[in-house]
Amino acid sequence: MFKFLQCRVIALCLSTFLLMLPFKGFAQTQKDIVLSTMETELNRSFKVLKSVNKPAIYFLQYTITDLNTIRITASYGAIEDDSKNNNRYLTVDTRVGSSKLDNTHELRGDNMFSFASLMPSEKSVTIEDDPTSLRASLWTETDKNFKKAQEQFIKVTSEKTVKVTETDTSPDFSSAKPYAFTGQTAKLDSVPASSYELLRKTSSYVKKYPWIYYSSISLNATATNKYLVNSEGTKIKNGNVSYLLGVYVGTTANDGMKLYLYKPFYSKKIEDLPDENKIIQTIDSLIQNLKALRDAPIVEPYTGPAILKNYASAVFFHEIFGHRIEGHRQKSEKEGQTFTKKVGEKILPDFISVYDNPTQKKFGNEELNGYYLYDDEGILAEKVPVVENGILKNFLMSRSPVENFSRSNGHGRREHGYKVVARQGNLMVESKNTVPFAKLREMLIQECKKQNKPYGLVFEDISGGFTITQRSFVQAFKVIPLLVWRVYADGKPDEIVRGVDIVGTPLASFSNILATADDYAVFNGYCGAESGSVPVSCVSPSILVSEIEVEKKEKGQEKPPILPAPLEKK
Amino acid sequence: MLKKIYLICIMFLATANIYGTSGTSRLGGDGNTFEKSVVFKAMNAELKRTTGKLKMKDNPAPYYVAYLVHDQNWLTIKTDFGGLISTTHDKARNLIITMRVGNYKLDNTNFISERGMGMFSGMSGYSTGPMDDNYDALQNSLWLGTDEQYKEALDILAQKKSAMKNQVITDIPDDFSKVTPTVYEGQETKLSVNEEEWVKYLKELSEVFKKFPKIQTSRINFSTGQENQYFIDSEGSKNTNGNLITSLEIIAKTQAKNGDPVKDLIGFYGRTPENLPDFKTITASVEEMAKNLSLETDIQKEIKYSGPVLFTDQAVGEFFFYLLGKGVSTSRTPIYENQMFAQFLPEENGFLTDKINQTILPASFSVYDDPTITEKNSIPLIGSFPIDDEGVKSQRVEIVKDGVLKNLLISRTPTKEGTKSNGHGRAITGDKTKASCANLFVESTDKQEKIKEKLINLCKEKKLDYGIVISRFTSSMTMEKEEMMLSFLSSFQEQGSKSLLPEPLYAYKLYTDGHTEPLRNIRLKEITPKVLKNIIGASSEENVCNLIIRDKFMRELPVSVITPSIIVDEIDITNQETRPVTLPVLPHPYFSGKK
């Protein structure tokens, strides 16, 4: 039981390690049958449900997510997984009561079974443009959701009478103007037949290294088309295709520690994915680092200066900073509200600004995975200046208002079936005070000397981590580094080390940023939290921090395989 | 059509080894697959390395290792109210590694550790392997899987030994029984289905519900798949065999006038799509089901009945599966590290195993289980298999002779009542291999031509206005995610109050004047194995029931039961407890515009 509750309190983000996706679009000309069927049934239902039953409905939204996915994985020269799926999922959002108080209002009482309410509620509907079948599904789901909403609203109103007034008395739903938009239709029929050979060939490359026990090359292609209509008149259809090629290698050190490295390549077009040479190069470099890691010494718990390299820093900002500026966390009585009362105050060094801009397609030449035009509440996405010159200005907002932030800025997001909350899109960390990385490294050494530390750490790659934002637990974070270097103050050569996780508390960590490099990099991934898994990006330069704390990593206890690899003897 | 399994068995004894006890029986085929198949080559090579060299310092080497490779290829089609929901192609190669350390007397199995609550221990040893016939990749996967399983087995054996020290355990059977190694080469199968035609038909079939305004939701699920298996173990058994299975299930749900949920599911099962009844027959059955379900919405549910019940069609198959098939399947009580888990994970089989040589059925009844029979009355039996999942040749077992229990169904896990496998060890994905029935044949020497008339006469004798006929139970009912969660949670509470039979899905009153009236949401009270003795009639007509039995984790077991319809006396029937929900606020969009 505890495990379920744990999912609730932790915004878990296995960012780099999740999925992959593609892109192709065609202009939409004729009337869309899915959209118009949704609209017809929505209008029929809304008209009746707002007048017959109390508590009555005041908002109804239908979203259909059409997912077309192809996934191919190869390992050791052979295809291991080859699947192709097409599904359409319906998600119904029903609000009863009024925008001031409705069924989505947070219940403060603890309910052992409340994890059930976080389970996604989705229904597969016809993948064909068949109005009769679709309307039948819309009807049953609406009825089911309406009744659930009514039940929930009764709980909400009765709790209001027995509990103290909440600190934030904002309404439950903000007003918004309706949007109409028809974007591209994303299509994905197949991937080139040559992809299979490419995966077989590149995945067999590790055979030369018998100590690599686990490895795979995977290709995921996804075409997503979203259809959204609501009772306020919003009508949106949009699609996108994305591809992800992932290279993964892993082994077990002699002391039982499982070690792995992963490199994802994300793109909107399959032709932009790396070719054979580039994949082999990537495998080579991962293997080289993995070998160094396998033989690397284990770091003891340490506090001292460190550099989070660009990519690692982007993951770090996404996890530790980004999740804390999501609007709904400022309101919930269960949340730690790290930054709620800090608007207008300095929370980062004055040379750093942070904004989230879902509408930005690319950074340099790199596609951004967190790109979208409209959020999952049908609101036009906006660039949100979160921190300007170190001063906190804004939160990322869905249509759930918080004190002093009454409107959505287009950040209400979810995976189909889940409830919408405010999430990040493309989080951009900007610095006005940058130096070349070599100089930053120099500054790290100076800082070590100043603090009398024999060495500093450079975190090159981070797999993800988790951050607890709720009050009932320690509001700390843990980040799981994949690749860490030790940089000695006395000029000894850098060495790879292993066995540590970064831990800390958010406010302290951000006050320790001393300088940044000019080497911006993009982290593209998928982030899992209470509203499911959503595509995200974060862009950041390398940052130097005066103090970071690392603790011992949980370690596997199994020895490496007893028998040599079958190919080893050959 | 399933290739007729070639069962001309050539038995020969291999040169006895120095212990003089083992031989090998060889069945079917010409051995080509074993020599040519890349899968076998890789399995052989790695098994040779494992049995010869795998040993951790200061620990025992494995005494038994088995590799089972399952090649699966499935097509699933779902439709709903005229629309296609999805077509899915699933292909996978699963590697299932069995590892035993210790010895036949005491090894790492038959033990539930505290870690992981033992609940998912059935998945241990399962992994996905390369789908390509790539020798290096296959051997590499087997090597890593074997290593992992060996270490886990050592760990479990140590835990088991330490748990046994603190418990008073006497007189326990061996953990694993010895068998004569068997070599069997069956036919590989290949999925062959006209996808386009089925999509078209299933869409049409789902449109049947457009004629039934009282039904709220419906769903059609069709799946057909091929499973080729390759097995090899360290005792010298090896086999290869292909299996096909096809199912078509139609689920409909609605509410009675008072809000009670009512549902029905009809299933058609066979080896290949061609084994299912023709489209016309299926459509007619679905219409019949929809018609009856619609009638159920209008009737009062209150019923208190005590009297004779006629079990027909699928229901009589389910009746014998649950009351007899499960009862005579030997079931080993594991050693629990924590006794609390004994309550959470009760053994559901084996409740008749202590009744050997006792009367459990009327004297006119005899029962046997024979997995080697592949069809009955030209209907392929989905419970059949030539070789069981532990590599043991399947065999006919005379279970009941003239009402008296004679033999049990046994796997390689010995129990007090049964120590020698008779080829009934069946593996269900996600569960440990257990003794289970396969093709259960129930025969009676006392048969009536007109069984319904017999029921009516009985009712007249007992001065009852009507008797009850049950033709379907819920054994195949699928659950959605939320329902599964509820079922799982409620399973912790329902100890002690369990009935051995699931709830009836379709039942009706048969009045003495011959007219019928459907019943809804009924349940059978206090069903114990004793009701088997209350059977007072059997039909001359035989039911060939192909069933997919689903447990609360939705794990599936295909079985066939061939049996007459039967009348059981003195069954108490009452209502299920239901949770009525208000009726839909709006009318169904399709029917609201129609008269």
- Ranges of each domain in chain B: 29-191+215-248, 305-335+343-575
The minimal CB distance from A133 to the residues B80, B136, B485 is found for B80
Please state whether beta strands B556-575 and B522-524 pair in parallel, antiparallel, or not at all (unpaired). Answer: antiparallel
CA–CA distance, B353 with B413 (Å, rounded to integer): 14
**Closest-CA residue in chain B for A67?**
B86
pLDDT tens profile A502-546: 888 777 778 889 999 999 999 999 998 889 999 999 999 999 999
**Do B585 and A86 lie within an 8 Å CB cutoff?**
no
For residue A41, which residues of chain B lie inside 8 Å, CB to CB? 589
By C-alpha distance, which of B155, B149, B154, B186 is closest to B30? Answer: B186
**Do A135 and B590 lie within an 8 Å CB cutoff?**
yes
Confidence band of A82 (pLDDT split at 50, 70, 90): very high
pLDDT tens profile B418-431: 999 999 999 887 77
In chain B, residues 73-112 whose CB comes closer than 8 Å to chain A: 78, 80-92
Residue A415 has which token pair? Answer: 């995976």
* pLDDT, position A30: 56
Type and span of the H or E element at A60? strand A57-75
Size of interface A-B (CB pairs under 8 A): 146
For residue B129, which residues of chain A lie inside 8 Å, CB to CB? 80
**Closest-CA residue in chain B for A131?**
B83
With tokens 């490199």, the residue in question is A263
The minimal CB distance from B143 to the residues A139, A204, A565 is found for A565
pLDDT tens profile B465-497: 999 999 999 887 776 666 666 666 665 555 444
The answer to whether B66 touches B231, Cβ cutoff 8 Å, is yes
The minimal CB distance from A561 to the residues B136, B143, B217 is found for B143
Where residue B365 falls (left for φ over 0; alpha for ψ -120 to 50; beta otherwise) is: beta
CA–CA distance, B178 with B21 (Å, rounded to integer): 10
pLDDT > 90? residue A279: yes
Q: What are the CA-CA distances from residue A320 to residues A328, A338, A339, A409, A422 (Å)?
A: 16, 11, 12, 21, 15
The minimal CB distance from B585 to the residues A49, A84, A130 is found for A49
* pLDDT, position A314: 95
Q: Where is average pLDDT lowest: A72-81, A502-511, B553-562?
A: A502-511
Q: What is the DSSP letter of B359?
A: B
For chain A, say whether B150 makes contact (Cβ under 8 Å). Answer: yes
**Do B143 and A563 lie within an 8 Å CB cutoff?**
yes
Shortest distance, CA A14 to any CA of chain B (angstroms): 23
Residues contacting residue A331 through CB under 8 Å, at least 6 positions apart: A106, A168, A170, A400, A402, A403
Q: How many helices (H) and strands (E) does chain A have?
A: 8, 28
* pLDDT, position B548: 93
Shortest distance, CA B54 to any CA of chain A (angstroms): 6
pLDDT > 60? residue B194: yes
What values do phi and psi take at B111, rounded to 5? -150, 135
**Do B136 and A566 lie within an 8 Å CB cutoff?**
yes
CA–CA distance, B62 with B100 (Å, rounded to integer): 6
Mean pLDDT value across residues B356-374:
97
What is the 3 state secondary structure string of B111-123?
EECCHHHHCCHHH
By C-alpha distance, which of A33, A59, A274 is closest to A131? Answer: A33
CATH architecture of the domain with range B29-191+215-248: 2-Layer Sandwich (3.30)
* pLDDT, position B84: 98
Q: What are the CA-CA distances from residue A561 to residues A83, A209, A261, B56 (Å)?
A: 31, 14, 19, 10
Mean pLDDT value across residues A549-564:
85
| Burial of A531 per CB tally in 10 Å (0-12, 13-18, 19+) | buried
The minimal CB distance from B134 to the residues A77, A147, A566 is found for A77
For residue B56, which residues of chain A lie inside 8 Å, CB to CB? 559, 562
**Do A124 and B134 lie within an 8 Å CB cutoff?**
no
Mean pLDDT value across residues A41-55:
92
By C-alpha distance, which of A311, A396, A422, A363 is closest to A15? Answer: A311
pLDDT > 90? residue B591: yes
Residue B3 has which token pair? Answer: 């290739």
* pLDDT, position A16: 35
pLDDT > 70? residue A166: yes
**Closest-CA residue in chain A for B86?**
A87
Residues contacting residue A342 through CB under 8 Å, at least 6 positions apart: A392
Interface probe, candidates A72, A87, A90, A143, chain B, greatest B C-beta count within 10 A: A143
Mean pLDDT value across residues A86-106:
94
In chain B, residues 208-247 whose CB comes closer than 8 Å to chain A: 210, 216-217
Q: Which of the two residues, B369 and B302, has the higher pLDDT score?
A: B369
For chain A, say whether B195 makes contact (Cβ under 8 Å). Answer: no
Q: Write the ipTM.
A: 0.88
Mean pLDDT value across residues A365-377:
95
pLDDT tens profile B266-293: 999 999 999 999 999 999 999 999 999 9
Confidence band of A25 (pLDDT split at 50, 70, 90): very low
The answer to whether A478 touches A497, Cβ cutoff 8 Å, is no
pLDDT tens profile B40-85: 999 999 999 999 999 999 999 999 999 999 999 999 999 999 999 9
Confidence band of B345 (pLDDT split at 50, 70, 90): low
* pLDDT, position B302: 87
By C-alpha distance, which of B413, B407, B408, B441 is closest to B427? Answer: B413
For residue A136, which residues of chain B lie inside 8 Å, CB to CB? 80-81, 217, 588-590
Interface probe, candidates B38, B57, B117, B143, chain A, greatest A C-beta count within 10 A: B143
The minimal CB distance from A127 to the residues B86, B141, B582 is found for B86
CA–CA distance, B218 with B264 (Å, rounded to integer): 10
Residue A216 has which token pair? Answer: 């795979």
- Residue type present at position B498: K
